[in-house]
C-alpha cells in the first residue's frame, strides 16, 4: 500500500515538472462565489440554446 503512495507521488511530481503547478492543483482551490455565478449563468444559457434547437427540429419535422 505504501508503494502505491510513493508511485502516486512520483507521477504527480513528474506531471508538475512537465506541465507546471497548475496541472496538479485542485480546481476547487480557485473557486469562489463569482465563478459559481458565472458557471450557473453559462449552464442556463446553454440550456436555452439547446431547448431552442430541439424546438426548431420538432417544428421542422412536424411541418414537413
Spatial CA neighbour of 21 closest among 34, 30, 6: 30
Mean pLDDT per 10-residue segment, the chain (64 residues)? 85 95 89 94 90 65 59
C-alpha cell at position 41: 449563468
C-alpha cell at position 63: 411541418
pLDDT at res. 60: 61
pLDDT at res. 62: 59
Provide, for the chain, the percentages of residues in helix, strand and coil under a 3-state DSSP scheme, each rounded to the nearest 5: 90, 0, 10
Amino acid at each position: 500500500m505504501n508503494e502505491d503512495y510513493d508511485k502516486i507521488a512520483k507521477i504527480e511530481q513528474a506531471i508538475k515538472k512537465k506541465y507546471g503547478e497548475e496541472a496538479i492543483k485542485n480546481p476547487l482551490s480557485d473557486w469562489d462565489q463569482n465563478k459559481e455565478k458565472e458557471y450557473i449563468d453559462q449552464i442556463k444559457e446553454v440550456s436555452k440554446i439547446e431547448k431552442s434547437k430541439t424546438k426548431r427540429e420538432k417544428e421542422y419535422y412536424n411541418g414537413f
